[in-house]
Amino acid sequence: MKKVDILVIGGSAAGLVSAMTSKSKNPDKSVMLVRKEEKVMIPCGIPYIYGSLGNSDDNILPDGGLLQLGVEIKVDTVLKIQKELKVCKMQSGDEVEYDKLIIATGSMPVKPAWLKGGELKNVFTIPKDKVYLDELLVQMKAFKNVVVVGAGFIGVEVSDEINKMGKNVSLIEIQPNILGLAFDKEIAIEAEEKLRSRGVNIFTGTGFEEIIGTDKVSSIKLSNGDVKEADAVILSMGYRPNVSLAKEAGLLINEKGFINIDEYMRTSEADIFAVGDCASKRDFATGKISTIMLASTACAEARVAGLNLYNLSTFRSFSGTIGIYSTNIGETSYGVAGLTEETAIREGFKVVTGSFTGIDRHPGKLNNAHKQMVKLIVSKDSGKILGGEVIGGNSVGELINVIGFIIQAGYTLTDLLVAQIGTQPMLTASPAAYPLIKAAEVILKKTN
């Protein structure tokens, strides 16, 4: 039986960062990472296999960082956690004894039990499985009509990328707008119009009843009675936490189906931690249990776990999930952090909002200039910034991260108005018309 100080189960983003942080913080400890896959996908890059990249080999999480630190990688499957003995049994027959265990088993795509026709050939999901994704790419070349069900971030990005392959793509969404659970309506509508202009057929406000076919898919019937021809159906209906190992080991699972953890990522069992999609989360603003699954959140949790394995520190705890998303459709990007206006009001906050649209270069005639719109959601009572949304060019990804920092730091409207920024004509908006600051000024006028 092999013995290690720290054992990490799962090789995706959460597992990788857990192992690297654990080894960096505890260089004298032995660290092993166990994963099922020989090669691991970059989670957020998976949709781009089908258009922009054209293959999965250019979307691999590199092992170099792990190996340089001295982390041992074991390609195997953990079948059982014996927490009393602190031993994990592997599919290969090997057993590994650990001192500290980090569970990073991730999530699996949802394929509803009620789905009629789900067993037909050419019905797919989007897992983090390179072999499966490669097979889908091979088969995709023969398809003409592809239906994607679910217009969250994955569904939208997969639709846009498959559209780049020259396929006739239909995107089905039961909500009134695509990305409607992530953005306020006015921004979701703009994203929807942009995706439609690129050739994706979008059908919102309708679900689907069944997938039709004898042996393989031939069409899909929507809940409004319409039937759409389909050579393939891709289900992008969300993901569920992969907690079977933890559940069988007797760890506490919360009412939403996630492994219960505290602010240091500790489970109900001493010396076992859980991070990433399989671990429970609480919303940063409301304190309610959150079902958000993001690689960025998973990496933050992984660092917290790795830093707290042997010594706890209040400066290394996890204060809650903000929820920071960004996506790209053509030359336009969309980002959101924290609460949307609709969610904040639903949660009982009294809010004031402000939006400003400018240009992300100055002067705006410079090459690659793009419209940049920032919307801020601020608590009317405390002045704290609860959320923000951005539309713009390539700068959106970093700008929405800045807004996430602002929310996490507890900035008020006044803090933002007096914040110092650096600007440069080729890189940013004008200091006199910086959309993030100007949106705050709009709110200030409303509150005076």
State whether residue 12 is helix, strand or coil: coil
When pLDDT is cut at 50, 70 and 90, the band that residue 312 belongs to is: confident
Q: Is the pLDDT of residue 315 over 80?
A: no
Question: Which residues share a beta bridge with 212?
Answer: 219
Number of H helices, E strands in the chain: 11, 24
pLDDT band at 334 (very low <50, low <70, confident <90, very high): very high
- How much is the mean pLDDT over the chain? 95
- In a 13 Å sphere around the CA of 309, the CA atoms on its Cβ side amount to 28
The Cα 327–Cα 132 span in angstroms is 24
Which amino acid is residue 118, in one-letter code? G
**Centroid of chain to Cα 50:** 19
- Res. 314 pLDDT band, cuts 50 70 90: low
319 pLDDT exceeds 90? Answer: no
Average pLDDT score over residue span 433-446: 96
Is a pLDDT exceeding 80 seen at residue 236? yes
pLDDT tier, 316 (very low <50, low <70, confident <90, very high otherwise):
low
Helix (H, G, I), strand (E, B) or coil at 272: strand
Determine the pLDDT at residue 113. 86
Pick from 101, 105, 128: which is nearest to 39 by CA?
128
Structure tokens at 354: 């402000």
Question: Smallest Cα–Cα separation from 237: which of 362, 377, 65, 110?
Answer: 110
Q: How far apart are CA 105 and CA 8, in angstroms?
A: 9
Note if the bond before 363 is cis, omega within 30 degrees. Answer: yes
Report the pLDDT averaged over residues 276-294.
Answer: 93
pLDDT of residue 162: 97
Cα→Cα distances 35→16, 91, 135, Å: 10, 11, 21
Handedness of CA 240, 245, 246, 248 (dihedral sign): positive
pLDDT in tens, 195-232: 999 999 999 999 999 999 999 999 999 999 999 999 99
Over range 177-196, report the average pLDDT. 97
Burial class for 201, CB neighbours closer than 10 Å (0-12, 13-18, 19+): middle
Average pLDDT over residues 227-252: 97
Q: Are strands 227-229 and 332-338 parallel, antiparallel or unpaired?
A: unpaired
**Cα–Cα separations (whole angstroms), residue 201 to 146, 331, 403:** 10, 19, 33
Identify the bridge partners of residue 351 per DSSP, sorted by sequence position: 379
Q: What domains, with CATH codes, occur in the chain?
A: 2-108+240-316 (3.50.50.60), 111-237 (3.50.50.60), 324-447 (3.50.50.60)
Q: Look at the alpha carbons of 164, 170, 175, 176 in this order and tell me if their dihedral is positive or negative.
A: positive
Percentage of the chain beyond pLDDT 70 is: 99
Q: Which residues, listed in sequence order, are joined to residue 336 by a DSSP beta bridge?
A: 325, 389
pLDDT at 192 over 80: yes
Taking CA 349 as the corner, what is the angle to CA 238 and CA 444, rounded to the nearest 5 degrees? Answer: 115
d(CA 258, CA 142): 39
Q: Per residue in 41-68, pLDDT tens?
A: 999 999 999 999 999 999 999 999 999 9
At residue 283, the pLDDT reads 93
Q: What is the per-residue pLDDT for 313?
A: 74
CA–CA dist 4, 22 (Å, integer):
12
Residue pLDDT, tens place only, 131-159: 999 999 999 999 999 999 999 999 999 99
Give 202's Cβ-side CA count (13 Å radius). Answer: 25
Q: Is the pLDDT of residue 382 over 80?
A: yes
Query: How much is the average pLDDT of 314-343?
Result: 91
Amino acid at 92: S
Calpha distance 235→157 (Å, rounded): 13
Helix (H, G, I), strand (E, B) or coil at 113: coil
The tens digit of pLDDT for each residue in 345-373 reads 999 999 999 999 999 999 988 888 999 99
Q: How far, rounded to the nearest angstrom, does the alpha carbon of residue 63 sit from its chain's CA centroid?
A: 21
DSSP reduced 3-state for 249: coil
Alpha helices in 110-243 (DSSP H): 130-140, 153-164, 185-197
Higher pLDDT, 320 or 87: 87
Q: Are 239 and 67 in contact (CB under 8 A)?
A: no
CB 265 within 8 A of CB 274: yes
**Hunting for tokens 């921004």 — which residue is that?**
187
DSSP-derived secondary structure for 14-81: HHHHHHHHHHHH-TTS-EEEEES-SS-B-GGGGGGGGTTS-SSTTSB--SHHHHHHT-EEEE--EEEE
The answer to whether residues 52 and 164 touch, using CB atoms and an 8 Å cutoff, is: yes
